[in-house]
Amino acid sequence: MAKVKAKTKSKPKSPKVLCCNEPPLLTPTQRLKAYKLASEINAANMPNGVHTIQRAAILASSYWGSKGVDLTVGFMESIPQNLRDRILSHMNSWNTIGGANVKFRWTQTSPQLRISRGRGGYWSYLGVDLLAVPSNQQTMNLEAFTMNTPESEFVRVVRHETGHSLGMPHEHMRSDLIALLDREKTIKYFMRTQEWSRDEVIAQVLTPLSESSLLGATPADALSIMCYQIPGECTKNGKPLIGGIDIDDFDKQCVQKLYPLTVSPPSPPPPPPVSGAWNYTVTVDKATGKPTIAQSL
Ligand SMILES: [Zn+2]
């Protein structure tokens, strides 16, 4: 879930931070469908308590299961092939760079993961939740992405949003990182720069994830691609949370553990030697008188 406020000319100095807002909330019926899908995919997904949408680690109730992720992808609007391929390439970086068993394949027919480049900033539903979204709605938003968008933004934003689609919540919601923040300074900062309400800031930045709701959690990682960049003016010690700009080693550890690549079965052992006595045949070359010994079973 990730959504960056649309950049407007009235806010030219907004810090270039990646902030995700909530995607549209699932209705109770859709939420129930998401729960059922999650529990069908993996019994370990059964939700406990109320699931909130924004929860680096993977949220148990959004986990796709150990068999990995293989999703078809489509676009809500027409899109040039080169841009489509570029977005897909960055989505698949969780495999090519992250080393996880995940695959995103473009299709024109009933795509499971749908991307819009329309208004609304950047966001994505979490993990299996996206299967509960009506097919006429996007599950991920990448506002205004074009071939002119800098490569660094493809790396930072597309990979981040895809992380959400894999079930990864925001890393800065880990309690160890929230503990570094000055609450009131943080609220003022995000209200000013993102135009969020106080409650939105509390929900998006200051409400810690329950560690028990996470799978594959590595130590809280301020360099995770799933971690916001939070400036020093928000922290107690004045040092910024640097935030992630690409998939880092802890991100890789997490997805490799939860979506492991299929391991080839070991080669079968060589057949045992055939028992039996060896036969030896000796022949003598009549011309040279040199003997030759042949061995057989
Ligand atoms: Zn996000």
Classify residue 16: in a domain, yes or no: no
179-201 pLDDT per residue, tens: 999 999 999 999 999 888 999 89
Query: Higher model confidence: residue 35 or residue 68?
Result: 68
β-pairing, 69-75 with 102-106?
parallel
Q: Would residue 242 count as lying in a domain?
A: yes
Here the contacts of 243-248 (C-beta below 8 Å, separation 24 or greater) are 243/17, 243/18, 243/172, 244/156, 244/160, 244/171, 245/152, 245/155, 245/156, 246/155, 246/156, 246/159, 247/93, 247/94, 247/97, 247/98, 247/159, 247/163, 248/221, 248/223, 248/224
Residue 119's region, left for phi above 0, alpha for psi from -120 to 50, else beta, is: beta
Could you tell me the distance, in angstroms and rounded to a whole number, from the CA of residue 243 to the centre of ligand 1? 12
The predicted pLDDT at position 276 comes to 55
Instruction: Please tell me the distance between residue 1's alpha carbon and the centre of ligand 1 in angstroms.
Output: 4
Asked if pLDDT for residue 3 goes beyond 50, the answer is no
Confidence of residue 219 (pLDDT cuts 50, 70, 90): confident
Q: Is the pLDDT of residue 11 over 50?
A: no
Residue 234 lies in a domain: yes
Q: pTM value?
A: 0.76
* Contact yes or no for 69/102 (Cβ under 8 A): yes
pLDDT at position 188 is 96
Expressed in angstroms and rounded, the spacing between residue 244 Cα and the centre of ligand 1 is 11
Predicted confidence (pLDDT) per residue in 229-277, tens digit = 899 999 999 999 988 999 999 999 999 999 999 766 667 777 766 555 5
Mean pLDDT to the nearest integer, 31-36: 72
DSSP 102-134: EEEEE-SSS-SEEEE-SSS-EEE--GGGGGGS-
Rounded-to-integer distance, Cα 204 and Cα 198, Å: 10
* Number of domains within the chain: 1
Report CA(172)–ligand 1 centroid distance (Å): 10
Q: What is the DSSP letter of 207?
A: S
Residue (of 192, 53, 48) closest to 127 by Cα position? 53
C-alpha 41/C-alpha 83 separation (Å) is 32
| pLDDT-derived band at 17, boundaries 50, 70, 90 | low
Residue 178 CA to ligand 1 centre (angstroms): 16
The reply to whether 154 falls in a domain is yes
218 CB-near residues (< 8 Å, 6+ apart): 56, 57, 250, 253, 254
| Contact (CB, 8 A) for 142 and 87 | yes
Name the 3-class secondary structure at 65.
coil
pLDDT value, residue 29? 76
pLDDT in tens, 123-138: 999 999 999 999 999 9
What distance in angstroms lies between residue 238's CA and the mean position of ligand 1's atoms? 24
Residue 275 lies in a domain: no
Q: Read off the CATH number of the domain in which 85 is found.
A: 3.40.390.10
Full domain range(s) for residue 210:
28-258
Residue with tokens 């960055």: 90
Summarised one tens digit per residue, pLDDT across range 55-114 is 358 888 899 999 999 999 999 999 999 999 999 999 999 999 999 999 999 999 999 999
Alpha helices in 195-287 (DSSP H): 198-201, 249-258
